[in-house]
Chains A and B, each alone.
Chain A
Amino acid sequence: MTTNQVQTTNIRFAGLGGTGVIKASDIFADVVFRQGHTVKKAEVHGMSQRGGSVQSDVRFGSEVHSPMIPDGACDFLVVMEPTQIEVVRGGLRTSGTLIVPADIDTTKLPSAKSLNVAMLGRLSRHFDFPESAWRESLRANFPEKLHTANDTAFDLGRTP
């Protein structure tokens, strides 16, 4: 039945409520959208999720239909919280990329809260969007007092 398959890239951000999952997905969606792609983003949020498992899906391409990533179709899975890795691992394609906090030297983070920005830096290696686009979105989404710390955290993840 599927003849005209559309190329869609699927990224899922996961973690616990309050750890910057939604924020990271917002920034990623912003970067992709500003590059001219059609983007959809789906999440379930609300204060009732505080401390509980949270995930946010971003899908982009020339055309995107459902905002929710189908089972086992994640190209990238970015997990902010080690305890959640096994909970969400099943969503990843066999050929997909898993990004976890162990990929970051967290001792060098300017603050524990900036882990999500470092994870975005790590994710950014896989896309050829200009580095300036990531930095602009980070600035647009955080108050000015966090900009320097965020630049440090982003570099930590982006620099191999």
Chain B
Amino acid sequence: MPQPSQDKNGRLLLSGNEAVALAALHCGVALGTGYPGTPSTEILEGFSALGGKAQWAPNEKVAAEVALGAAFAKARVLCTMKHVGLNVAADVLFTMTYSGVDGGYVLVVADDPGLASSQNEQDSRRYAEAAVAPMFEPADSQDAYDLLQVAFATSERWRIPVIFRMTTRVCHSKSPVKPRFAPDVIPTAAETGAPATDFVRNIAGRVMVPGHAKPAHRRLRAKMAEMELWNISQGPNLVEKRSESLGIITAGICYHHIREAAPDASVLKLGMTYPLPLATIRAFAATVDRCVIIEENDPWLATALRAADLRIEAKDDATFRFGELSVDRVKRILNKDTSPEPVPPRGKPPELCKGCPHTTSFEVMKELNCIVSGDIGCYTLAALPPLSAMDMMIDMGASVGMGLGLRHVLPRDQAKRVISVIGDSTFLHSGLPGLVEMAYNPPETGHVLMILDNGTTAMTGQQEHPGTGRHLDGSGTHKVNFEEMAHAAGVKNVFTINPIRERAMLKAVLADSLQKDELTVIIARSPCILAAGRIAAWDKELKAKQAADEPAESGSCECGGTCQH
């Protein structure tokens, strides 16, 4: 990775994600964990590259739980995910605010207003309120660097997990950062102020049975009341007094759009948006004639402030709830202009790479007239022309369940055409329970699950996962075996086929599997062409190591080397 740009004043040009990674290092974060997801992926990669301990979990829920255990042991932990990942981790989120933590726990969630690379435009700020978790929202890279330190201090002071909400433009925009340590310095634990880890038993605080959870809920609400007072008196909120005729309340990237769209306006920029510093907001609103809320996505701030009986103006949600905001759109909101916005010319949509093994797999499904229950990954692009070979895609892992549902109710001739298709990383993320369901409640017509195993989490930029046998930093680890998992779940027919080299076999096996009223898992295995060189080099290295470790042993099976063991 190239070194970040540095100017003569010791400032670095960093993306928001890189700034969080650097801040995590400077906060003495003991463990970073998460699941890749645009636009959050580069945080853990950056943290690892800087020398931090960072690892990918199979999914966001597991990541949040690993982080929770570490935070119970007084460590500082960073857990990262994209917005929809927080849906997966929501279960642990809603109760770990009750239990609280002993160390510092910052959960970074990256929203994607405008859906640059997501399946929905959900607003994660609602999770802070719903799960009762304090929330910080940085506006740029310096803000991200500074606020992460405040977030850890808050988490440790009130012993509570904290949400750090970013958006695509904050994650992926670069702006100057002045760090508190020189760029080439890795601070010691003493310099970061990170506490030593230790286990102290606290059964009533961490075993959330009703008898313990009832008082925990009251404790949580009391913490929130305290935090609101702190946010009012010392919170990381910025009041800029300029015009008395116009005042704007905002948080996150919108602050910068506002400064450009309305340079004379007074601004209250909130850095901590839950619990809201209502008294601060009320005082600010009282100093201006017109008080406007500028926020992307849902009218979350506007609703909260109206509920608190503040006289504020908000954007027209029929127009501006959709997509991200910009300087031009902020001007429109301030001018109450809801006339049709200019539509930029349509660019070229993304497509599967030339030579991608997924293309072959979907061509075969198309030739066999399959009804394809799809999933999330590069291969979702198969839904677009010219392939148009995927019929549904909703959330991670859903291909398996949706395919089974179709099979259960469709007329036999249609049910026989249904196939579930899922990528390797997505399968391990949340397709596994679907596999178990498939074996537990098999449809009368059987079912076919195809795992497109290209040996990497390709869509987010080729991250490792438990099926690649590599850690986040590329070092070797145990490699999960898909074939054995399918057998263990109770699937009788398991095939491993290379879709590029064995296209005819893939078609024959799929056609045969669709005919039978049985359960079949087909692993279509061929490396992502972008990662193939790296995967081949690693395989070679691994084989050489195995040969050196066991020089006299022959293989345990008698396949002659065609199986994947």
* B-chain residues with CB within 8 Å of residue A47 when the two chains form the complex: 38, 378, 458-462
Q: How far is the CA of A88 from the CA of B344 in the complex (A)?
A: 8
Interface centre among B253, B262, B263 (most CB of A within 10 A): B263
Which chain B residue shows the least CB distance to A5? B263
Given contacts A4-B263, A66-B256, A68-B169, contact A17 B345 (CB under 8 A): no
Q: Does A38 contact B (CB under 8 A)?
A: yes
Instruction: Verify B348–A16 contact, CB threshold 8 A.
Output: yes
> Which of the residues B7, B169, B350 comes within 8 Å of A48, measured between beta carbons?
B350
Q: How far is the CA of A45 from the CA of B168 in the complex (A)?
A: 9
Given contacts A39-B13, A52-B348, A53-B347, contact A46 B175 (CB under 8 A): no
Q: Does A102 contact B (CB under 8 A)?
A: no
Which chain B residue shows the least CB distance to A68? B326
Interface size class of B (residues with CB under 8 A): 35 or more
* B-chain residues with CB within 8 Å of residue A141 when the two chains form the complex: 2
Instruction: Verify B172–A39 contact, CB threshold 8 A.
Output: no
> Which of the residues B2, B345, B461 comes within 8 Å of A140, measured between beta carbons?
B2
Interface positions, chain B 433-486, Cβ under 8 Å from A, are 458-462
Q: Does B116 contact A (CB under 8 A)?
A: yes
Q: Does B501 contact A (CB under 8 A)?
A: no
* B-chain residues with CB within 8 Å of residue A77 when the two chains form the complex: none
Interface positions, chain A 1-34, Cβ under 8 Å from B, are 1-6, 16-17, 26, 29-30, 33-34
Q: How many residues of A contact B (CB 8 A)?
A: 46
Q: Does B565 contact A (CB under 8 A)?
A: no
Instruction: Verify B342–A65 contact, CB threshold 8 A.
Output: no
Q: How far is the CA of A46 from the CA of B37 in the complex (A)?
A: 9
Given contacts A66-B256, A87-B347, contact A46 B38 (CB under 8 A): yes
Q: Does B3 contact A (CB under 8 A)?
A: yes
* B-chain residues with CB within 8 Å of residue A5 when the two chains form the complex: 263
Instruction: Verify A42–B169 contact, CB threshold 8 A.
Output: yes
Given contacts A2-B263, A33-B13, A48-B38, contact A65 B461 (CB under 8 A): no
For the residues of B in contact with A, the DSSP-based class is loop
Q: Does B259 contact A (CB under 8 A)?
A: yes
Which chain B residue shows the least CB distance to A39? B13
User: What's the count of A-B pairs with C-beta under 8 Å?
Assistant: 140
* A-chain residues with CB within 8 Å of residue B2 when the two chains form the complex: 26, 140-141
Which chain B residue shows the least CB distance to A45? B172
Which chain A residue shows the least CB distance to B16? A67
Which chain A residue shows the least CB distance to B175? A40
> Which of the residues A33, A42, A71 comes within 8 Å of B176, measured between beta carbons?
A33
Q: Does A86 contact B (CB under 8 A)?
A: yes
Instruction: Verify A86–B351 contact, CB threshold 8 A.
Output: no
Instruction: Verify B5–A53 contact, CB threshold 8 A.
Output: no
Cβ of B24 to closest chain A Cβ, rounded Å: 22
* A-chain residues with CB within 8 Å of residue B189 when the two chains form the complex: none
Which chain A residue shows the least CB distance to B12? A33
Instruction: Verify A86–B263 contact, CB threshold 8 A.
Output: no
* A-chain residues with CB within 8 Å of residue B353 when the two chains form the complex: 50-51
Instruction: Verify B176–A39 contact, CB threshold 8 A.
Output: yes
Cβ of A53 to closest chain B Cβ, rounded Å: 3
Q: Does A155 contact B (CB under 8 A)?
A: no
Cβ of B267 to closest chain A Cβ, rounded Å: 11
Q: How far is the CA of A64 from the CA of B350 in the complex (A)?
A: 31
Given contacts A29-B13, A46-B39, contact A17 B117 (CB under 8 A): no
Instruction: Verify A50–B350 contact, CB threshold 8 A.
Output: yes
Can you add 18 more A-B contacts, CB < 8 Å, to A46-B39, A52-B347, A141-B2?
A: A38-B176, A40-B140, A41-B173, A42-B172, A42-B173, A46-B38, A46-B116, A46-B459, A49-B117, A53-B349, A65-B257, A65-B259, A67-B174, A67-B253, A87-B347, A90-B344, A140-B2, A140-B3
